[in-house]
Amino acid sequence: MKIIRQFFLVAALLLSAGTGITASAQVVENHNSKVARNLEIFNEIYKALDLFYVDTLAADTVIRWAIDGMLMKVDPFTGYYPADNEDLRQMATGKYAGIGSIIRYHKKHDRVVIDEPYANTPSQDAGLRAGDIILTVDGKDIKGMMPTKVTEMLRGEAGTTLELRFQRPGEKNPRTVHITRRTIQLPAIPYYGIMDDGVGYINLNSFTSGCAREMRHALLQLMSQGAKSLVLDIRDNVGGAINEAVDITNLFLPKGVKVVYTKGKQASMNHEYSTTTDPIAPDMPLVVLVNGMSASSSEIVSGALQDMDRAVIMGTRTFGKGLVQAIRDVPYRGELKITTGRYYIPSGRCIQAHEYNHDGSSKIIPDSLRNTFYTKAGRPVTDGGGIQPDSVILNDTLPTMIYDLVQSDIFFDWATDFANSHPAIDAPGKFQVTDSLYDAFCKYVEESKFTYNRRSDEVMQLLRRVADMEGYLEDAEDEMKALEAKFAPDIHKDLQRMRKHIMPYLESEIIIRYYHQQGSIRHSIPKDKVYRSAVKLLRDTKAYHSILKSAEN
């Protein structure tokens, strides 16, 4: 009897397994048939469009619309790059072939202007300066063109030459130069140095190919110069190569530590990344600066160092990109950057902050759905929302006038005029805008008829409407008028009142014209609130180590 029961049990299990296999195969078959059916529909629609539409449509353009529309709905990180597109290569390597200048659109001129020529590049060799107004590229007038289009014209194969005609502000006649394009390598580390006694500083702005080697060199240089602790600044660093992030983390973590692992639909997308060498700075006190634009590989570095209790993370919550992309070749030398999985840092958490609905929309994962994990020392950390700093330091709130000044061309134009009349200035860290220079700037702003939106005006108008609606306005009219008089716009007074906020932007705009991005960072960082907080913490050994210990220790 027992043998019969076992026979029927085995038969039932086999039958249920067979049913499961059949059901699973049916799901795959249904999915595949849907794919085939919809591809057939798309093919027929395009053929009808090509045959019967009243105008002849460019095949490359129309199909590209369909591709971009489809990928846009998937997530913001999946994209198609056709043959000879340099954007993907630049993202991965930091290299491109061109003249080596940042350009920007200038509203008043309705043209693109040189924003910053990089040091030791064809644009600097040709004598281009910030503020030069581009008139033509290879004889083609670029009036009204946006920077993306002009960028395409300025780039090309290394060794080829272009003709650039431009107008320098303050000069009567345009200039013409011939510039030979070269391969431009954008620095992953625009600046590093020791600005406070014994505290090293490294600004890492990308995770492009070779950046870990640059990082190692910078760290060794700082150590040889006497650095006893380090501030690693990865604010506004949107990420890049995962292997570079692992190698940078390896500078501080022991050999054999699992830094990150990825999981995808396909088993081939599952990978583990561990440290492979002995660190060069295993015990150096370390503070990592992050903000809301620190993403992807920046979050792998900061998250792994946090999970291993190796560094204090300082600043504001990071972006929350826990997705991994891979590059796949497509026909006719195109490339597809496609999200293939999620990554997880040492504590086991995935810090992806957004759920993509695959219809072009997304939602932020609420705090209530986030899970708690623990660092090596037992400190609680959470998933689903980026990296929460160990020490939250908020930047000071800026007056709305500053945003309007930055968005306008006021800083840029005044610095252009200043640089054209001042062949040299003091070195970064020593240069400062004097009272007379600031007064000249204020006069320039006032004469330019600059206008700005004041939040206080909007609030006052709202208060008046609400008071009127609720019946208080008549009784409060005198007080309301007195308050409005207090808030009456006065650009001269506002410029003086907001001087401490305006000065850093003004000084940076001037310094970058003489000492490039490196000089601008060198000048501004010592005054940076978050950096100063990091230095203060590193000098307080007890406070630094107390953050990295569990409450139970």
d(CA 523, CA 515): 10
Tell me the DSSP string of 272-313.
EEE--S--S-SS--EEEEE-TT--THHHHHHHHHHHTT-SEE
Look at residues 356, 345, 384 and name the one whose alpha carbon lies nearest to residue 263: 345
Strand partners, 229: 199
Distance from the first to the final alpha carbon of the chain? 62
Q: Of these residues, 101, 321, 383, 413, which one is catalytic?
A: 321
Residue carrying structure tokens 């061109």: 98
Q: Tokens representing 255?
A: 């050999």
Would you call 296 a catalytic residue per the annotation?
A: yes
Q: How far apart are CA 391 and CA 385, in angstroms?
A: 16
The DSSP bridge pattern shows strands 133-137 and 140-141 to be antiparallel
Tokens of 353: 């902050």
User: 432, 511 in Cβ contact below 8 A?
Assistant: no
Q: Which residues of 295-330 are buried (b: 16+ CB within 10 A; e: fewer)?
A: bbbbbbbbbbbbbbbbbbbbbbbbbbbbbbbeeeee
**Residues 269, 262: contact at Cβ < 8 Å?**
yes
Active site residue 228: no
Catalytic status, residue 481: no
Distance CA 387, CA 133 (A): 42
CB 338 within 8 A of CB 405: no
Write down the catalytic residue from 123, 206, 294, 296. 296
Q: What is the 3-state secondary structure (H, E, C) of 34-95?
A: HHHHHHHHHHHHHHHHHHHCCCCCCHHHHHHHHHHHHHHHHCCCCEEECCCCCHHHHHHHCE
Q: What φ, ψ does residue 352 adopt, rounded to 5°?
A: -60, 125
DSSP alpha helices (H): ranges in 393-540?
400-407, 410-421, 435-447, 455-469, 473-486, 491-497, 499-524, 529-539
* Exposed / middle / buried, residue 226 (Cβ in 10 Å: 0-12, 13-18, 19+): exposed
Within 8 A by CB and 6+ apart from 316, the residues are 290, 291, 292, 389, 392, 393, 394, 395
Half-sphere exposure of 322 (CA within 13 A, CB side): 28
75, 233, 307, 528: which one is catalytic? 307
Q: Which residues are catalytic?
A: 296, 307, 321
